[in-house]
């Protein structure tokens, strides 16, 4: 089995930088960066607040239709990055929903592919209806 050492500093730094670039691309509606973040595969899934994306083509279609802007995230509450070895990572973000007293959650599963580098293979965004900020 390959090395699954948790949170090697250089791997955490790589994934952190990619996550931050993705977050900025959401605000800027930089579809090229958004697309480059996700694995170009029919197996990739992204569950969002108002759509389910099954496969890269579906996810891309939602990206193109989405307006630019700050989106629903008003403030970060907690960001957790876990890397295992050099090729597996999860990113989980808890945030305050803009203009509402709600908690939102975002999760991403990342894999480093030998031919294309780090890609999100699965992502999820939701709110915790009924759970107020603490």
CATH of the domain at 84: 3.10.450.50
Element (H, E) at 50: none
Residue 100 forms part of a structural domain: yes
Query: Using 50, 70 and 90 to split pLDDT, how confident is the model at 66?
Result: confident
Give the mean model confidence (pLDDT) for residues 47-62: 95
Residue 132 lies in a domain: no
Q: What global pTM score does this model have?
A: 0.92
Domain that holds residue 65: 9-127
Neighbours of 130 (CB within 10 A): 7
For residues 95-104, give the mean pLDDT.
93
Domain assignment present for residue 1? The answer is no
6 phi, psi to nearest 5 deg: -75, 140
**Higher model confidence: residue 132 or residue 43?**
43
For residue 61, the model assigns a pLDDT of 96
């Amino acid at each position: 089995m390959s090395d699954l050492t948790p949170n090697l500093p250089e791997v955490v730094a790589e994934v952190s930088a990619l996550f931050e670039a993705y977050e900025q691309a959401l605000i800027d509606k930089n579809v090229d960066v958004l697309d480059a973040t996700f694995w170009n595969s029919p197996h990739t899934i992204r569950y969002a607040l108002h759509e389910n994306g099954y496969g890269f083509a579906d996810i891309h279609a939602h990206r193109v239709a989405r307006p630019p802007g700050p989106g629903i995230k008003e403030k970060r509450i907690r960001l957790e990055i876990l890397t295992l070895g050099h090729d597996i990572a999860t990113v989980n973000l808890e945030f305050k929903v803009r203009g509402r007293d709600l908690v939102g959650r975002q999760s991403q599963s990342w894999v480093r592919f030998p031919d294309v580098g780090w890609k999100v293979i699965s992502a999820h965004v939701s709110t915790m209806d009924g759970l107020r900020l603490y």
